[in-house]
Amino acid sequence: MAIITLLEAINQALDQAMEKDQSIVVFGEDAGFEGGVFRVTAGLQKKYGETRVFDTPIAESAIVGSAIGMAMNGLKPVAEIQFDGFIFPGYTDLVTHAARMRNRSRGQFTVPMVLRLPHGGGIRALEHHSEALEVLFASIPGLKVVTPSTPYDAKGLLLAAINDPDPVVFLEPKRIYRAGKQEVPAEMYEIPIGKAKVVKQGTDITVVAWGSIVREVEKAVKLVEAEGISVEIIDLRTIAPVDEETILNSVKKTGRFMVVTEAVKSYGPAAELITMVNEKAFFSLEAAPVRFTGFDITVPLARGEHYHFPQPEKIAAYLRKLAKARP
């Protein structure tokens, strides 16, 4: 085992997958020679050559469209969009072709591609660099959407995504690319897509989060546990399809439910998860579910960015209020 960052875990997964399977190709804007803007793919072009790891023009539609064609013709493309907010020119191809091809061809064709997107904020960047757009992908039938919160999960989820027969959107929380290290097995392993992880057991409140926000929730929980509030933390890991069983079993135990995400509030994933709990575990609830999200605004630029994100102290305030709430 090596102690590595989330960024290094993704690089290791790509390296090992490419070494094992000659059909895997990696590409995107600056993904080849430079190793990507965050250097996630650093060293791969030197090792595997320009035919398997290469740079593309600044043309997201071409990146996604090319990946679809490659996937339908025997390759396993792992395409990178440089920042999540740059996806829109390629969104049409992803939704109208990648997500629909299995259904359109009645199973004759599948699209085994991975679309890697640095996700969310936290790096004080400019416009289009800090969005949390998971709802745009998770609401589309035919797409799977995953996001890791730890180096261990990053490697296992990416290897599972590469081996999946259908298109997977792999959201990489850029805020924690290098924030902390973890022991990660040297060998290849997979984490099943569609399975959440109970990060911490608790009895009073169930909190669901994903990506970089899991760490903020953990910090908040430490604050309220000193006051006697027991919180169960669930890392969603797969945003689509959702692991309903793990969430519902937890809510039936705790009776209180909260979702924390940096995505905007309206029509977002938090609302969907709360609806699911209301529909399937209503009589287990002891208080109305709560969502703590980003604001319904364009993410503020640079130094103002942090005002948009759930902070541990504010998450803790929501938890205290929920713990006291009654039907």
267-283 pLDDT per residue, tens: 999 999 999 999 999 99
Low-confidence ranges of the chain (pLDDT < 50): none
User: How long is the chain?
Assistant: 327
At 239 the pLDDT is 97
- Angle at CA 90, nearest 5°, toward 153 and 140? 65
At 80 the pLDDT is 97
Going by C-beta distance under 8 Å and a sequence separation of 6 or more, which residues neighbour residue 301?
125, 126, 127
Antiparallel, parallel or unpaired: β 231-235 and 197-200:
antiparallel
Q: In whole angstroms, give the CA distance from residue 232 to residue 155.
A: 24
Considering the chain, tell me which residue range(s) the CATH 3.40.50.970 domain(s) occupy. 2-184
- Domain 197-324 = CATH 3.40.50.920: yes
Q: In whole angstroms, give the CA distance from residue 113 to residue 271.
A: 29
Q: In whole angstroms, give the CA distance from residue 12 to residue 86.
A: 25
Task: Single out the catalytic residue among 97, 119, 128, 129.
Answer: 129
At 1 the pLDDT is 80
Beta bridge partners of 27: 54, 79
As a whole number of angstroms, the longest Cα–Cα distance in the chain is 62
At 305 the pLDDT is 76
At 299 the pLDDT is 80
Q: Return the percent helix, strand and coil in the chain, to nearest 5.
A: 40, 20, 40
- Domain 2-184 = CATH 3.30.160.100: no
Q: Provide the token pair at 42.
A: 């650093």
Considering the chain, tell me which residue range(s) the CATH 3.40.50.920 domain(s) occupy. 197-324
Q: In whole angstroms, give the CA distance from residue 237 to residue 48.
A: 30
Contact call for residues 148 and 154 (beta carbons, < 8 A):
yes
- Catalytic-residue membership of 97: no
For 107, what's the count of Cα atoms within 13 Å in the CB-facing half-sphere? 0
Residue type, position 321, single letter: K
At 302 the pLDDT is 66
Q: In whole angstroms, give the CA distance from residue 244 to residue 250.
A: 10
At 85 the pLDDT is 87
Q: In whole angstroms, give the CA distance from residue 50 to residue 161.
A: 23
Contact call for residues 134 and 171 (beta carbons, < 8 A):
yes
Contact call for residues 229 and 323 (beta carbons, < 8 A):
yes
Q: In whole angstroms, give the CA distance from residue 216 to residue 233.
A: 11
Going by C-beta distance under 8 Å and a sequence separation of 6 or more, which residues neighbour residue 96?
none
At 130 the pLDDT is 75
